Amino acid sequence: MENVFHTPVLPAPPLALQDLSYVLENTAQLWEEVKGKSVFITGGTGFFGCWLLESFLAANAQFNLHSQAVVLTRSPEQFRLRSPHLAEPRSVELVTGDIRDFSFPSGEFPFVIHAATESVPKDRPGELFATIAEGTRRCLEFAESHHTKKFLLTSSGAVYGSQPQDMTHIPEDYDGTPDISRPDFGYGEGKRLAEQLCLESTARTNMQCKIARCFAFVGPYLPLNAHFAIGNFIRDALLGNPIEIRGDGTARRSYLYAADLAIWLWTMLLRAPSQRRFNVGSDHDFSIYEVAQAVVAAINPGLEIHIAQNAIPDAPVQRYVPSVNAAKTELNLSEGISLPDAVLRTAAWYQGWMEQ
């Protein structure tokens, strides 16, 4: 079981038909615009990218799109071993390169999704900041020179900095910024600059740039051995280990299921107005302790939950929760999968991988 969570030796299974059908049902009106055209995706082999590729391939087959996805990756060989069902179709082309200096593939690419995940640790903020900036510049340079009409940047809720104590949900017009005294400030500042670079590109070209400020998510392909609390909880529940909460369990988070994420990202690429920033996430928030309880109830009832620190009475509650009213009202987007259902679907996918 441990191999799946650390160094998988078996290829990942495809997504459940239930999830892919759900995505297609909610994006059916979008795909006509993509027919016969090419989409360039950075970060196409990561968590976001695998969902984008799975849904793209499903739509390609369902709607006879005859479209092509060209995916930038640092290691095509590893991706082919891990996800052959995504790497081997003729409608997918893997391009080797680093986001900061990759060689441009030839052809026209009306659609670009820049979803690359930076490989620099957040405790090296200067290097991380530079990597995000250089990668976005290179991706925009590619888009501007390859007839791109619509460009989607996956930014982050980290651009807002710390959420004020009296604000339960962060709206897009909140003008907070990352605290540069924190060792992880480089990520949020890098994403802020990436957004600005996109807006500048739109000002000098006819390309439409859309910005998705992404918060927290759960679903198949989410790493279960990284810094994502809910992923760690799901891993431990599947292994039958106690759930370990490193803090006091009072911090509040929300999690959007990845099938909803895919719907939101495709909708934003193809339908969102240019230069508009939209929060992407769930506005149904839970304490970390409540998240742990939900994971235990869904996967392995009776598991113990260990909390490392005692809560301090009347202490400020740390939040990371978006307002998504803009996405709901302007793009008619919604959250269709509840947290308990999301946990069950994620666990079932990993369980299937473990049992191969």
* pLDDT values of the chain reduced to their tens digit, one per residue, 356 residues: 555 565 456 899 999 999 999 999 999 999 999 999 999 999 999 999 999 999 999 999 999 999 999 999 999 999 999 999 999 999 999 999 999 999 999 999 999 999 997 766 777 888 899 999 999 999 999 999 999 999 999 999 999 999 998 999 999 999 999 988 887 789 999 999 999 999 999 999 989 999 999 999 999 999 998 888 999 999 999 999 999 999 999 999 999 999 999 999 999 999 999 999 999 999 999 999 999 999 999 999 999 999 999 988 888 999 999 999 999 999 999 999 999 999 999 999 999 887 76
Beta partners for 245?
Answer: 307
Q: Give the E-state strand segments of 1-67 in sequence order.
A: 38-42
What domains are defined for the chain?
A: 218-256+282-351 (3.90.25.10)
Q: Three-state SS for 177? A: coil
Q: Three-state SS for 189? A: helix
C-alpha to C-alpha distance for 335 and 328, rounded to whole angstroms: 9
* All residues at 6 or more sequence positions from 316 whose CB lies less than 8 Å from its CB, including other chains: 165
Beta partners for 253?
Answer: 286, 320
C-alpha to C-alpha distance for 99 and 305, rounded to whole angstroms: 40
C-alpha to C-alpha distance for 327 and 331, rounded to whole angstroms: 5
pTM of the full structure: 0.96
C-alpha to C-alpha distance for 68 and 116, rounded to whole angstroms: 19
Determine the number of helices (DSSP H) and then strands (DSSP E) in the chain: 12, 14
DSSP 199-240: HHHHHHSS-EEEEEEE--EESTT--SSSS-HHHHHHHHHHHT
**27-32 — which CB contacts under 8 Å span 24+ positions?**
27/55, 27/59, 27/262, 27/263, 27/266, 27/267, 28/63, 30/266, 30/267, 30/270, 30/271, 31/59, 31/63, 31/65, 32/63
Rama region for 94: left / alpha / beta (φ>0; ψ in -120 to 50; rest): beta
Q: Are strands 286-287 and 252-253 parallel, antiparallel or unpaired?
A: antiparallel
